[in-house]
């Protein structure tokens, strides 16, 4: 029974990281595109800038949602 709880906790953390990554990637793509055009980033550097912003934002959101899920796994209601 204890193993089932641990598997459930890992699944919840994984889901938190995945959802955080998806939301962060979407927000990062929109913000990176806005920023690239706002600061008039030249040519193919726009794609690089948008990609870096998307990946960075996805990583940060995923990290925080995963950490939040980990914290909630320890609580029993």
Q: What is the pLDDT of residues 17-53, one digit of tens each?
A: 999 999 999 999 999 999 999 999 999 999 999 999 9
CA distances from 43 to 37, 47, 50, 61 (A): 11, 8, 12, 28
What's the CA angle centered on 71, arms 58 and 28, to 5 degrees? Answer: 10
For the chain, what are the domain ranges? 16-72
Instruction: Say if residue 58 is exposed, middle or buried (CB neighbours under 10 Å; 0-12, 13-18, 19+).
Output: buried
Confidence (pTM)? 0.84
């Amino acid at each position: 029974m204890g193993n089932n709880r641990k598997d459930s906790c890992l699944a919840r953390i994984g889901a938190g990281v995945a959802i955080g990554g998806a939301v962060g990637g979407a927000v990062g793509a929109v913000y990176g595109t806005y920023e690239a055009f706002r600061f008039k980033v030249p040519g193919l550097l726009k794609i690089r800038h948008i990609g870096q912003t998307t990946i960075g934002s996805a990583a940060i959101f995923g990290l925080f949602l995963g950490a939040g899920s980990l914290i909630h796994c320890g609580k029993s209601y």
